[in-house]
Amino acid sequence: MSFIKNFNFGKLKEGLSKTRDKIFNKIAETVTGKAVIDELTLEEMEELLISSDIGYDLAMKIVEEVRKQLKGEKDRSGENVLEVVKRVLEDELSHSLSSVEYIPDVEKYNPFVILIVGVNGAGKTTTIGKLAHNFKMSGWKVVVGAADTFRAAANEQLEIWAQRAGVPIISREMGADPSSVAYETIEEAIRVKADVVMIDTAGRLHTKVNLMEELRKIKNVIAKKLPNSPNEIFLVVDGTTGQNAVQQGKEFSKVT
């Protein structure tokens, strides 16, 4: 029944290794050929890391680690510095990846309700399609709800994914109240005794107050129909977003 075993983590690791290589190559250009790495080069490296959008804290941590390890070293060559940077980066990336695991607790909450949120075009609807397939493969009964009533053809897009995964979908015409679609989806899920429910929402900028408040309403309506739900809010973030993802996370957390 493990959902996680249907998930291809190799692909995710591969994707992350591209990011790592890119950063690493830039650093290599800065330090290669230098016989001794001085404070100026370290500062250059710091700037480079920050501009690579890996986050200020991690950038500082790497440079600090390099500085520390070089202190007692006779070999302060560029090649040796590269080794140190490589070690720290690999530690960081593989550490955060090994803790990725997700299994919805359908024994405790039934149906287990997941609300999908995020900015425009982040991949919400596609992710629901993939998850619907994976959840079904795990032996769960799935229902999806098309509470994105804002964009033309949003329904049809989710309908195609639902059809591919072979799961039922609740959808209404464009312009319908998204909260009422969410409500009807929960109603249907309870009626057919579904294990997992996923509700799609329209993309919205995290800076637009009205649209964010609409999300709060959707969440409250779901909770009214089924106490303790939604059990999860998934924020879908485009893999190329960088540090802005942190801001998106903060703003979406406020309303949901």
Ligand X SMILES: Nc1nc2c(ncn2[C@@H]2O[C@H](COP(=O)(O)OP(=O)(O)OP(=O)(O)O)[C@@H](O)[C@H]2O)c(=O)[nH]1
Is the Cβ of residue 62 or residue 154 nearer to ligand X in the bound state? 154
With contacts defined by CB under 5 A, name the span among 122-130, 184-192, 204-212, 241-249 that binds Mg ion.
122-130
Choose the contact partner of 126 out of ligand X, Mg ion, none; CB within 5 to 8 A by kind.
Answer: ligand X
State which of residues 111, 145, 203, 230 lies at the interface with ligand X (CB under 6 A).
203
239 C-beta neighbours (distance < 10 Å), count = 12
If contact means CB under 5 to 8 A according to the sort of partner, which of ligand X, Mg ion, none does residue 199 touch? none
Element (H, E) at 217: helix 209-225
Q: How far is the CB of 159 from Mg ion (least distance, A)?
A: 12
Q: Which of 32, 120, 163, 207 binds ligand X (CB under 6 A)?
A: 120
Tell which one of 42, 110, 112, 124 touches Mg ion (CB under 5 A): 124
Cα distance between residue 58 and residue 85, in whole Å: 11
Other Cβ atoms within 10 Å of 52 Cβ, number:
17
Single residue of 65, 123, 136, 225 touching ligand X by CB under 6 A:
123
Q: Minimal distance in Å, beta carbon 235 to ligand X?
A: 11
* Residue closer to ligand X (CB basis): 44 or 238: 238
Rule CB under 6 A: say whether 206 interacts with ligand X.
no
Tokens of 240: 């190329």
Cβ proximity to ligand X: between 104 and 118 the closer is 118
Instruction: Tell the smallest beta-carbon distance from residue 181 to Mg ion (Å).
Output: 13
Tokens at 213, concatenated? 């408040």
DSSP codes of every residue in 17-72: HHHHHHHHHHHHHHHTT-SS--HHHHHHHHHHHHHTTS-HHHHHHHHHHHHHHHHT
CB of 249 to ligand X, least distance (A): 15
Give the residue with the Cβ less far from Mg ion, 125 or 248.
Answer: 125
- Cα angle 3, 5, 8; round to 5: 110
- Cβ-based neighbours of 93, under 8 Å, separated by 6 or more: 16, 20
Number of amino acids touching ligand X (CB under 6 A): 13
Binding residue for ligand X, selected from 27, 49, 54, 122, defined by CB under 6 A: 122
CA–CA gap between residue 3 and residue 17 (Å, rounded):
24
8 A C-beta contact, residue 82 and residue 34: no
Q: If contact means CB under 5 to 8 A according to the sort of partner, which of Mg ion, ligand X, none does residue 55 touch?
A: none
CB closer to ligand X, 128 vs 186: 128
Q: Is 118 in the site for ligand X (CB under 6 A)?
A: yes
Q: How far apart are CA 252 and CA 233, in angstroms?
A: 9
d(CA 224, CA 70): 59
Among 22, 151, 164, 254, binds ligand X (CB under 6 A): 151
Structure tokens at 244: 């802005």
Q: Name the site residues for Mg ion (rule: CB under 5 A).
A: 124-125
